[in-house]
Amino acid sequence: MSQALNIRRVAGALGAEISGVDLSRPLSDDTVAGIRRALVEHQVIFFRDQDLTPAQQTAFGARFGPLNVHPFVQGMAGQPEVMEIIKEPSDRVNFGGGWHSDMSFLERPSIGSILYAIEIPEFGGDTLFASQAAAFEALSPGLQKTLEGLNAVHSASREYSSQGHSAQKRGSMQVAEADGYVGEFVHPMVLVHPETGRKALYVNPAFTLRIEGWKTRESKALLDFLFEHSRYEAFTCRFQWREGSVAFWDNRSVWHFALNDYPGQRRHMRRVTVDPWPVGAVAAKTDEAVA
């Protein structure tokens, strides 16, 4: 049975809050299709007052694609696709505390992330989101055309290596360093969304190393400009967490930033990440839909 979705926009560039749905229950195909449409249109969607077990969160995520197992962060015992993101009161640095797009360092990056709040601080700990579609559309036609002809190199080396400045070195999260086995992968600097055709910038400060075919020093000026431009306030929205809140964002067109402004307090979140369907599976699903 379909659940009626009530959708309320939260900002001009991106973001909508959805009510009228219990994500812990099995969802009809129509309800899942409605959530997917809202995600594609608004780029990040939010749900309140959910009560999800890890199994229920993974079941929800799996309706949108195969679930990712993070190559550097150990998942829950028995459920490796579930990542527990915990900042203890003694931790000074948080996980995800810089603008980025999840998993752009992979050969086939994720399409979305689903984050669920279990324990939140008394104050602070919001997450910022920035529309990279709005960022691209605000550029001049000349620069848009230039960027559409360029690719960029992405890697996890800066964030997960022993020399990196990542926030992962803490007792509450088990993270493997990427030294010696991290790769570099090339992605277009402008992605065309497969469901809308809308174009979005696809570079980010955490994982983009340089422009393909350019020296690092040559790349820096253009990338620094894009990084500054892409987080302009008008392209963003801000989500204030409550226990039981869920955020689901589209990594193909959205950056996010977990604020670290709650010293001495604990924050416990749980994340699953959705990968793209294999090419053959997409074709099969399309054929089924047509039939």
pLDDT of 162 > 60? The answer is no
Query: Which listed residue (42, 210, 270, 271) is catalytic?
Result: 271
Residue pLDDT, tens place only, 228-279: 999 999 999 999 999 999 999 999 999 999 999 999 999 999 999 999 988 6
Residue pLDDT, tens place only, 57-101: 999 999 999 999 988 888 898 999 999 999 999 998 898 889 999
pLDDT of residue 177: 56
Read off the amino acid at residue 52.
L
Residue 193 catalytic?
no
Question: Which pair of structure tokens corresponds to residue 173?
Answer: 């999260």
CB 65 within 8 A of CB 276: yes
Domains of the chain, first to last: 6-290 (3.60.130.10)
pLDDT of residue 285: 47
Q: Across the chain, where does the E strand assignment appear?
A: 6-9, 16-19, 44-47, 83-87, 112-119, 127-131, 151-155, 184-188, 190-192, 199-201, 208-211, 236-239, 246-250, 254-258, 267-274
Residue 70 catalytic?
no
pLDDT of residue 283: 40
pLDDT of residue 4: 83
pLDDT of 3 > 90? The answer is no
Could you tell me the pLDDT band of residue 286, with boundaries at 50, 70 and 90? Answer: very low
CA 159 to chain centroid, in Å, comes to 16
Residue 102 catalytic?
yes
Read off the amino acid at residue 280.
G
Q: What is the mean pLDDT of residues 126-153?
A: 98
Query: Which listed residue (256, 267, 270, 275) is catalytic?
Result: 256
pLDDT of residue 278: 82
pLDDT of residue 174: 66
pLDDT of 143 > 80? The answer is yes
pLDDT of 281 > 90? The answer is no
More confident residue, 288 or 279: 279
Query: Which listed residue (102, 154, 158, 250) is catalytic?
Result: 102
pLDDT of residue 169: 56
Please provide the average confidence, as pLDDT, over all residues in the chain: 90
Other C-beta atoms lying within 10 Å of the C-beta of residue 168? 16
Nearest to 207 by CA among 131, 272, 153: 153
pLDDT of 27 > 90? The answer is yes
pLDDT of residue 260: 96
Residues written for the chain: 291
Could you tell me the pLDDT band of residue 167, with boundaries at 50, 70 and 90? Answer: very low
Residue pLDDT, tens place only, 104-116: 998 899 999 999 9
CB 129 within 8 A of CB 15: yes
